[in-house]
Amino acid sequence: MHLETFIFITRYLTCFVLSFFVYQFFSSIYNYYSHLIKNSIWHSLMCLSTAMYCFVFSLNTHFFTQESSNILLGVFWIMAYSSYYCYLRAIEAYLGYEIRLLKISKVYSLFLTTAHSINTISTIFLGKNFLFEETNKSFTLFSKAMSLSISPNYYGLALGIVGAVIVFYSSVIIWRELSHRKVKERLLQYGVLVTVICVINDSALGLELTGGLIPLYYLGNAFEAVRLNLHYQKMSHKKINKLEYQVDELTKTAQFGFAAASISHDIKNYLMIIKYSLKKALSRDDKEKHILKAQKYINQTSEVTALYMDLFKNNTDITTSDTKLINLVNEAVEIVQDKISKARIKLRVNIDEERYITCNSVAFTLCLVNLLGNAVEAISEYDEPWIEIELNDIGNSLLIRDCGLGIPKDIADKVFDVNFTTKKNYGGSGLGLAISKKLLQKSGQDIQLDSTHSHTLFVISL
């Protein structure tokens, strides 16, 4: 084979394999950082060191200086032995346990990596090379392509021979471990065979038994890189599926919690009226009136509970009917009347008594109760507080306005968010308006806050 052909094949085959291992490296790093698969770190390091091996190999086919070519040969072997060490650790990480018989292989791989690292540093800074020596032999195609003027001395040959034996030994151990698995590991077994063939090939080059062969060690890790990448990708998908399942479960739990909080939030108003009515029934002559009133709100409490049970079931619509709007408003006012009276708030209602709307009466009433209750709390300290409930026939909407100075836009954008409240220090739950909006939307209406108005204004679209 001509030298130019040898360099061409070596250079471009190595560049192709380099790009392959770079892709495998970044894919593995993604699994490591994005899905926290810690075991994939050895797969990442194996791909990185093998990619560096290919890079140094390809780089050394370009001549810079004789000294740099000889130094790159040392770096070349550092990358080779470090990649093999990472390969052994990657196999153990994949199998999920440490292979006791591979301990000697890992130790010797680290020893060779360290020995070549020290030798390369010594060559650079001290000019002393303990593993290679200048040679006057006729150069092989390999040494010419790498622009080398050195070859292994007796120490280098001894280390290389023992290293080759260690690779063969390790290959037998790994093959045996793979054979014991229930799942057939064809790709990894192919990788073991290719590694053995490549080490025989590269040993023949390193010992200068032949110079016409192209170094192929980097191909030994190719099958392992693909198989381990597939393995960690599968683990990533399992983690994602598990997380999605957990999110679904948490969503169901959160939905249940929101439902429970919503029910307790609104039933509290009914319980206060029931308590008040029973108290009046025990202290006045018109007992029957107050008992009937208590009975009415006991029944409505059951309706509220049933409404929420329907509301928080997926894809369940709540029932609606045509109802007089004025009756709904009066119902809501009655529930909060005690608060309105204590705060000396002037309430003005301007609604056509013959106006009907199609809605769920319980949902609509609950929304009005929340709005009126919030308004009472907000303006109770004003000198002359007032609340207006007005029908806007032109816009087909119901306006609930109070004497408050309005709500800033940055807060207005959040008032319907769950758990958002400006009354944390005063017992605010951040549920009232969020519940109101959800109830109205299920009922066929909607609610907005008009932040442009000079007073606090909520608009219910009918």
DSSP string for residues in 406-448: ---HHHHTTTTSTT--S-GGGT--S-HHHHHHHHHHHHT-EEE
Higher pLDDT, 272 or 93: 93
Q: pLDDT tier at 315 (50, 70, 90 boundaries)?
A: very low
Q: How many CB atoms lie within 10 A of CB 28?
A: 26
Q: Compute CA 398 distance to the chain's CA centroid, rounded to the nearest angstrom.
A: 43
| Segments of the chain assigned to CATH 3.30.565.10 | 319-462
> Angle CA(240)–CA(246)–CA(249) in degrees, nearest 5?
145
Tell me, what's the pLDDT at 200? 80
| Segments of the chain assigned to CATH 1.20.1070 | 3-243
Domain 319-462: CATH superfamily is Histidine kinase-like ATPase, C-terminal domain (3.30.565.10)
Beta strands (DSSP E) in 58-116 are none
Tell me, what's the pLDDT at 1? 65
Question: pLDDT tens digits, residue range 129-144?
Answer: 999 988 766 567 777 8
Average pLDDT over residues 68-96: 91
Least confident of 12-26, 76-90, 233-247, 386-400: 233-247
What is the token pair recorded at 455?
Answer: 């007073």
- DSSP labels, 257-315: HHHHHHHHHHHHHHHHHHHHHHHHHHHSS-HHHHHHHHHHHHHHHHHHHHHHHHHTSTT
Least confident of 97-111, 120-134, 159-173, 277-291: 277-291
Helix/strand/coil for 325: helix
User: How high is the mean pLDDT of the chain?
Assistant: 81
Question: How far apart (Å, rounded) are the C-alpha atoms in residues 241 and 318?
Answer: 33
Helix (H) or strand (E) holding 335: helix 325-342
Tell me, what's the pLDDT at 160? 87
Q: Which CATH architecture has domain 3-243?
A: Up-down Bundle (1.20)
Question: Whose CA is closest to 167, among 186, 190, 192, 187?
Answer: 192
Helix (H) or strand (E) holding 243: helix 222-283
Q: Is the pLDDT of residue 274 over 80?
A: no
Range among 14-18, 83-87, 142-146, 350-354 with highest mean pLDDT value: 83-87
> Angle CA(414)–CA(440)–CA(255) in degrees, nearest 5?
70
Higher pLDDT, 339 or 119: 119
Strands of the 456-461 sheet, one edge to the other: 346-350, 386-392, 397-402, 456-461, 446-449
Q: pLDDT tier at 378 (50, 70, 90 boundaries)?
A: confident
Q: Compute CA 144 distance to the chain's CA centroid, rounded to the nearest angstrom.
A: 52
Higher pLDDT, 263 or 375: 375
Question: How far apart (Å, rounded) are the C-alpha atoms in residues 170 and 263?
Answer: 67
Question: Whose CA is closest to 73, among 91, 90, 87, 59?
Answer: 59
Tell me, what's the pLDDT at 442? 82
Tell me, what's the pLDDT at 260? 61
Question: How far apart (Å, rounded) are the C-alpha atoms in residues 32 and 46?
Answer: 14
| Residues 229-232: contacts with CB under 8 Å, at least 24 apart | 229/24, 229/27, 229/28, 229/43, 231/94, 232/28, 232/31, 232/37, 232/39, 232/40, 232/43
Is the model's pTM score more than 0.85?
Answer: no
CA–CA distance from 286 to each of 134, 239, 276, 283 (Å)? 119, 67, 14, 9
Question: How far apart (Å, rounded) are the C-alpha atoms in residues 385 and 347?
Answer: 9
Question: How far apart (Å, rounded) are the C-alpha atoms in residues 273 and 294?
Answer: 7
Q: pLDDT tier at 335 (50, 70, 90 boundaries)?
A: confident
Q: Is the pLDDT of residue 215 over 50?
A: yes
Tell me, what's the pLDDT at 255? 54
Range among 265-274, 316-325, 362-371 with highest mean pLDDT value: 362-371
CA–CA distance from 142 to each of 25, 176, 177, 352 (Å)? 28, 34, 36, 100
Q: pLDDT tier at 246 (50, 70, 90 boundaries)?
A: low
Question: pLDDT tens digits, residue range 381-427?
Answer: 888 999 999 998 777 899 999 998 888 887 888 888 876 776 655 55
Question: pLDDT tens digits, residue range 174-191?
Answer: 999 998 888 888 888 888
